[in-house]
A and B are shown apart, each in its own frame.
Chain A
Amino acid sequence: MAMTMTIERVMAFMGLDVLVARDEGLFEAEGLDLRIALLPSDEVRSAAEGTPAKPATNQGKLQARGEAEMFQA
């Protein structure tokens, strides 16, 4: 049975390896059903809302509520 893992969304600038591995079946070849979860658009906050000491970040939100197991910081 395939293992499953959900990660938070990545983009090429910080996750090109993930995207290529997904598209070329490399996770599947390892028996890993890798799912990429997106934060609902109404929950996405712009960094412009933050301050240096209290930044408004979207990273880790899905993991914090158990909807993703990994994210890239």
Chain B
Amino acid sequence: MIVCGALVVAPTSTVYAPQELARKLVALDYGNGTAYAGLQMLEGAMPREAITTCAAATSPAERFAGLMRGDFEATVLQEPWITVAEKAGCRLVSTTFFHGTWIAAPGVSAEAYAALLRALTRAVRRIKADKRRYVSYFIRDWSGHSEVTALSPDDFNLGRIQLKEPAPIPENEARWAWEWMASWGLLEGAFDATAQINRSLEREAHELAAAVRVG
């Protein structure tokens, strides 16, 4: 699954481009992929010393509410809250995409992992063939929230809903992610591919998955 993250400002904000967020408070859900996506979007627009963030709730509903109250200048959101924010007149000043990465315990069998991969591959193909049919899942996740339940499938920008069939993680991408996180003090030590990625299990699972034709 590919996740879309967006840096969002309130309708009344004077910010139109990410560099205008320099030294302005941006609320991030530290520890989650969306927060790191937010940090990377900011880092692409300004020097690190100009990045000013505060801890925000894990729930994008709470981050959106805080944005609308004016608790901070911007926050990072994912779907369906990006769509909610747009409907409320908020502006996206930057968007990015990132991979969701599966982390497996050492005891996972190659056969079970392969079955998971085949099922996910089929699901990805079905969703890509008719994304509009499946956007109701984004609404279903937030059934108690009127801002979300007011959305219709036509409100969603399908370009923000991207899926990719599961594949082994390229070593250079894993290394870049590690080194980037280490540069922010989130990880310590040098990247060690053999410690982080069980290539033997990964290869066996993907070979088993590929051996069965996925329709």
Contacts and interface: CB of A to CB of B under 8 A. Distances in A.
Contacts, number: 156
Interface string A48-73: 11111101111110010010111111
Contact of B115 (A31, A68, A71): A31
B57 A17 contact: no
Main secondary structure of the interface of A (DSSP, over half): mixed
A25 to B, nearest CB: 9
A69 to B, nearest CB: 5
A24 B123 contact: yes
Contacts of B104: 69-70
A46 B100 contact: no
A32 interface: yes
Contacts of A47: 28-32, 35, 55-58
A63 B105 CA distance: 7
Interface residues of A, number: 46
Interface in A7-21: 11-21
B108 A70 contact: yes
B12 to A, nearest CB: 24
A14 B1 contact: yes
A30 B57 CA distance: 37
A18 B137 contact: no
A15 B78 CA distance: 12
A5 B108 contact: yes
A17 B30 contact: no
Given A47-B57, A49-B55, A51-B30, A20 B134 contact: yes
A12 B55 CA distance: 23
B119 interface: yes
Contacts of A26: 119-120, 122-123
B126 interface: yes
B119 A16 contact: no
B206 interface: no
Interface of B: 1, 3-4, 28-33, 35, 53, 55-59, 62, 78-80, 100-105, 107-109, 111-112, 115-116, 118-120, 122-124, 126-127, 134, 137-138, 140-141, 161, 163, 184-186
6 contacts: A14-B1, A26-B120, A48-B58, A55-B30, A56-B30, A57-B31
Interface of A: 3-5, 11-21, 24, 26-27, 29-32, 34, 44-53, 55-60, 63, 66, 68-73
